[in-house]
Amino acid sequence: MALTRGLKHANRYRKIAATLARHGFGYILQEVGLFHILSLPKRLAADSKDVNTHSIGKRVRLVVEELGPTFIKLGQLISTRKDIFPPSIIEELEKLQDEVPPFPFEYSKQIIENDLSCSLNDVFSHFCEEPLAAASIGQVHYAVLHDGREAAVKVSRPNIKEIMEKDIDILRDLAKLFTQRFHWARYYRLQDIIEEYVDAIRDEVDYYVEARNTEKMKNNMAGFSKIEIPDVLEDYSSRRILTMSFSRGVKLSELRDTKKDFNKKGLARTLTDSFLHQVLVNGFFHSDPHPGNIIFTGYDTAAFIDFGQIGRLNKAMRKQFINYIIAMTKKQPDLVASAIYDMADIPNAIDDDQFAEDVEYLLFKYYDRPFNEVRIGEAINDIFSTAHRYEIQIYKEYTMLAKAIITLESVVEHLDPELSIVEVAEPYGRMLAKERLNPKTKVSEWLKEGQKQKEYLLDIPRELRAALEKLNNSHVGVEMKIPKINIFLNKLDRISNRLSFSIILLAFSIIMVGLIIGSTFGDSSSPLVRLPVIEISFIATFLMFLWLLYAIFKSGRF
């Protein structure tokens, strides 16, 4: 079983390497020691100059699209990190569409009947074989239950979890190799990006997680009568199936063509208000509110759907974020810089004054603009990008929030271009500020901090005693890290194989010379001479020679 998994990984590695090489990234494979896994024709094809007609961003997008669902999801995640990656790559990755050809209805039927332990007809009175939408992880079918309720049934792609887990293992290995070898991989924190992606993708593949997210969001939005959240039909759901009540309405792209009347300004306000409530009150928000995940169900009502991607902010993070927004609206760069420090990991050596000056320079373009012209998501990303240049690592919860705000702003702008998220957020800021100044809140915070310090103080004697015992028993270890050791060992292995090849070639030549001399100067009356010894020996030796060469090349280190 382990051998089968290894072979599958090896085949996938070759596929990834061949795709990178074909799109002009063969030099990366050479640097990390993976170029050897390509066949000779593909190595030669990697030297093609045709790929240079495309930009790096386009070539990255083509690679991602060709490698399938796991890499498409990764590309979509990277496209939201405008604070880290250059615009040329972001613009191309934003073109990635999570719309792929649907898989056959028979697979959907098989998964439903297997997971629910009954026939499809026993569950639904009607089930539309043609999916409403198909994405890289699953597809959605329209159905009607026997009691007449309309349902949206989301079914995962066959074996998608196994496929993605294999790709995740490979991505982790590649990220580690790239980080060891390339400065750009360290600068963009590639390993952190992959780990962030792993958490997100595993949640999306498990429909139980999405079901819990949907139910929690429905409870949180109970006070918003104009916002609808689908009901989860648990009796007809599993890890691979999610059945929800069907939200009937139109999407943003259909608003112009529909004959129905919609209160666009009211909808814009409702969407913004409900989203800010999710962020600043609940700390549990829809992190991907793009137009496809919002359905306008009535004159002034809308539904959020698809809760596979959820953002979370604890109470401290909510306070930090509102401090950041208040500092930005007051146009105080020192306070903005201070708020950023609370929202990130800060390097040991940083020029505080220079960073504050850079923040002030960025804020300057928003100084004389009215609120309704300020795009808060753009302003947040501008400052996050500046922070990244100082190697300040913004916590992923805030970067996810920034991406969600930008996405929501694009929707709101189509509904009501004059609406400002900053103005809608102002009451929430006052509410949180009042809560922060509440004496009960202050006392509670002091008690919590006192309890924390008490635990630290009580731990000191125990930690000190343990350290002294290790010193006394000579159990103190020294951890050594040798950078790029894998690359060094790989190259050493290739050198040894090349030496073996040279020795085999020399031995083959000596054997052939000996056979020729023996046949020329040997006793002609001997029956051995009359036999085709040279031919037989040559064939046997040549076959051994080929076998040894095959073993060397198969090892992938030549």
- The per-residue pLDDT for range 76-100, each reduced to its tens digit, is 878 877 777 888 888 888 887 666 7
Q: How confident is the model at residue 515 (pLDDT cuts 50, 70, 90)?
A: low
* CATH, residue 155: 3.30.200.20
Q: Is residue 231 part of a domain?
A: yes
Q: Do both 212 and 270 map to the same domain?
A: no
Supply the range of the domain harboring residue 238: 99-164+205-246
Number of domains in the chain: 4
Percentage, residues of the chain above pLDDT 90 = 25
β pairing state of 302-304 and 227-228: parallel
Q: Do both 489 and 367 map to the same domain?
A: no
The structure tokens listed for 519 are 């046949």
Residue 226 pairs in a beta bridge with none
Give the model's pLDDT for residue 1.
39
Q: Do both 308 and 428 map to the same domain?
A: yes
Amino acid letter for position 145: L
Q: Is residue 151 part of a domain?
A: yes
Task: State which of 194, 225, 246 marks the end of a domain.
Answer: 246
Q: Do both 115 and 125 map to the same domain?
A: yes
Provide Rg for the chain, Cα atoms.
31
Q: Do both 113 and 224 map to the same domain?
A: yes
User: For the chain, what is the total number of helices (H) and then of strands (E)?
Assistant: 23, 12
Q: Is 156 helix (H, G, I), strand (E, B) or coil?
A: strand
Percentage, residues of the chain above pLDDT 70 = 72
Q: How confident is the model at residue 299 (pLDDT cuts 50, 70, 90)?
A: very high
Q: Do both 280 and 333 map to the same domain?
A: yes
Q: Do both 288 and 349 map to the same domain?
A: yes
Which residue's structure tokens are 């915070």?
445
410-423 residue pLDDT tens:
899 889 988 888 77
The structure tokens listed for 411 are 């929707």
Other beta carbons less than 10 A from residue 48's beta carbon: 13
402-412 residue pLDDT tens:
889 988 988 99
The predicted model gives 124-147 an average pLDDT of 93
Q: How far apart are the first and last CA of the chain?
A: 28
Q: Is residue 479 part of a domain?
A: no
Q: What CA–CA distance (Å, rounded) separates 515 from 538?
A: 9
88-132 residue pLDDT tens:
888 888 887 666 789 999 999 999 999 999 999 999 999 999 999
Q: Do both 221 and 264 map to the same domain?
A: no
Give the model's pLDDT for residue 181.
84
At residue 498, does pLDDT exceed 90? no
Whole-structure pTM value: 0.72
More confident residue, 296 or 538: 296
CA distances to 123, 126, 298 from 147, rounded to whole Å, are: 10, 11, 24
Q: What share of the chain is helix, strand, coil (3-state, %, to 5)?
A: 65, 10, 25
CA distances to 38, 42, 359 from 48, rounded to whole Å, are: 15, 10, 44
Q: Which residues of 108-143 are buried (b: 16+ CB within 10 A; e: fewer)?
A: bbebbeebbeeeeeebbeebeeebeebbbbbbbbbb
Judged by phi (left if over 0) then psi (alpha if -120 to 50, else beta), residue 233 lies in beta
Q: Do both 144 and 278 map to the same domain?
A: no
Q: Which residues of 276-295 are buried (b: 16+ CB within 10 A; e: fewer)?
A: bbbbbebbbbbbbbeebbbb
Q: Is residue 180 part of a domain?
A: yes
